[in-house]
Structure 1
């Protein structure tokens, strides 16, 4: 090496000081050339080691007992609606005692008609009855005397028959007068419109001062304040329901009630291919009642329970309209598995197809992974020790 430096110095004809500097530079360069290959090899080896794409947490599918439910939509309606009308014609309405939304009892007076004309008719019918009774008393007395003289020959058979006929006619007139009096008394009773049953007034058309005819509708009433949910169920699902099945009904305002199936319609609508299922709801009346007749409501019929395998909702990734989970393999790489989601239980979701019970699935970070990614697992969440019993 020294000979090469001397030759170089001689060729360049450098001064001794400059020759010493050049020699130092050549020695340094030679050292770097000797060291560089080892350092580059170490860096290449370091770059060749694979690096995890993400740090994740994992868990295994957990068993659970989930409720089997059947969803449906429908309307809330009155169990039975009573139409309350006028039974007296040609009378003036003088007082209306109830309004829409009022809770009434059976026999409660709802409206009153003017009774002046009817009272006069009742008095006239009562007088006609008294007259008929007086005439009947005379006819009875005459017939009694005729019977005593029947064998004496003082009266002819024709006269005796006339007295007996007059007695029977007088008795018939009494019956007719009594019937007329009862009719007028019934009209007097009809001047007061009363509730036929307990319930809630749902509509009112009665107006004070109006003169209405017989049969004119004055009020509508929800009998006993009972409501029902009329759910529309397809023909295919109808066989799964029966009277007594529980149903949780949810109104548009978020209120919920639990009812029971009372009956299933015997026919299916040929247009929609669905049948009505009538669900009795608990009594809910008043201005602040959560359910009202005519509102739309959705609900779910409770059909029992079944065993299921669940994973955290965070582990399920939706891509291109399909659901996937990422299984962690023994080589710390993940495999993307297409699964079929089912029912939900809080923050967990049922997997019905595509995943084995002993698989280790990625929970946190699943949404950022792709097929074959290398990951680092920092912790594993143990499956639930006790199966759940409720479903959302």
Structure 2
């Protein structure tokens, strides 16, 4: 019996469909289908954000300055500088000779006054001897009481003259010592205006010292921040060259500037490296607070924002999320907003990913192991 043309066509289509369905489930077809699945862009490990106890800090800026400066000037005038023994940057000790003034005149005046003292002492000895003899003569009735009083007054005047001469001698010694310009404290010479051969007048500044070499950071804060800052709080200051110094709040200004509305906080710095006049940023630590953190390697700075890549529920693709990053400390970064603790974040390599990228997730391991895995994955895909 012959089939009609439409029925024959239907039967042929049915046979072809059945054959194609059977071929789909053969091993060769399945292997072909697997090779067509999108490959993973990167082999990654994922982590969860963690809460850490971090110091609660106030971030601010300011400049460095000398803790105290000492001005060293000439205490005597009209003398020429004959020797300069210190320069800018010299570390000096209290009493160390920095410069010398001409001392010939002062030395001559001292010797002259020493002679005047010797003469006054001799006059007093003569007057006391005369007084002694007059008292003996007065006892025998050979000398009047008036004459005895004259000898007594003369001895008193000569004694006063000797005391005055000795005082003048001390002044001459002081004047001679003032020709030696010495350091008034331990410190570092920050400026020198003393010039060899220059004739200085009384009060002329010759040197300026940073007392004990101590530098402090003068941080500017507003009224709200000022209320939270107290003496002895710790601080960390970052210098323009990247060096970080520790310090402690030494003094908090009791007033705010009427022009800027800000106050100064004086932070004593530990260690070396800071110089007066540097503009530095830093943190003043107020206490401890619990903050959400991620390793810095998980952050992807891009176009002025900070991104992280979060593993989706399917476990095979990632989603880009923009977060607000806060402080950095010990290789981790504070996440102010944008994440929760139950999210799984790509630990590193986010710069090679994009929103919706497929990844292969492995247990967290060393970076070298991850690199080997990524190399193998990329080699297999070629």
- TM-score range for the pair, normalised by the shorter chain length: 0.7 to 0.9
In the alignment, which residue of structure 1 is the partner of 2:54?
67
Distance across 2 between alignment mates of 1:32 and 1:64: 69
**Cα deviation digits, residues 66-110 of structure 1 (max 9, x gap):** 423221211111111111111121111111111111111111111
Residue 136 (structure 1) aligns with: 124
Contact map agreement 2:316 2:361 (CA 8 A) in 1: no
Tell me what 1:259 maps to: 247
- Structure 2 residue 267 is matched with structure 1 residue 279: yes
Structure 1 residues 336 and 107, CA, compared in 2 at 3 Å: closer, same or farther?
closer
**After superposition, what is the alpha-carbon deviation per residue over 1:239-275, rounded to whole angstroms, capped at 9, x for unaligned?**
3322222211111111221111112122222222222
Change (3 A) 1:205 1:361: closer
Gaps of 5+ in 1: 6-25, 43-50, 285-289, 384-392
Match of 1:357 in 2: 341
Distance 2:318 2:90 in 1: 66
Give the counterpart of 2:72 among 78, 84, 90. Answer: 84
Q: Partner of 1:291 in structure 2? A: 274
- Residue 225 (str. 1) matches residue 213 (str. 2): yes
State TM-score, norm by structure 1. Answer: 0.73
Deviates more, 1:92-101 or 1:62-71: 62-71
Pair 1:123–1:362, CA change in 2 (3 A) = closer
Kept after mapping to 2: 8 A contact 1:65/1:305? no
Determine whether 1:310 maps to 2:293: yes
> Which residue pairs with 1:300 in the alignment?
283
Deviations 1:152-193 (A, max 9, x none): 554443332222111110100000110111111111111111
Show structure 2 runs of 5+ residues with no match: 22-36, 366-382
Please say if residues 216 and 268 of structure 2, whose CA atoms lie closer than 8 Å, have aligned partners that are also in contact.
Answer: yes
Q: Give, in whole Å, the separation in 2 of the partners of 1:103 and 1:324.
A: 51
Figure out how many residues of one structure are paired with residues of the other and give that number: 344
**CA distance change for structure 1 residues 255 and 111 in 2, over 3 Å: closer, same or farther?**
same
Instruction: State the partner residue of 2:238.
Output: 250
Q: Distance in 2 between matches of 1:58 and 1:181?
A: 88
Give the root-mean-square deviation of aligned CA atoms: 4.0
Deviation track 1:285-336 (CA, whole Å, cap 9, x = no partner) reads xxxxx22111111111233333233356657797997978767357999888
- Provide the TM-score with structure 2 as the length reference: 0.75
The offset of 1:221, in angstroms, is 0.9
CA distance in 2, matches of 1:201, 1:311: 47
Question: Contact 1:340–1:354 (CA<8 Å) still a contact in 2?
Answer: yes
- Indicate conservation of the 8 Å contact 2:97/2:180, yes or no: yes
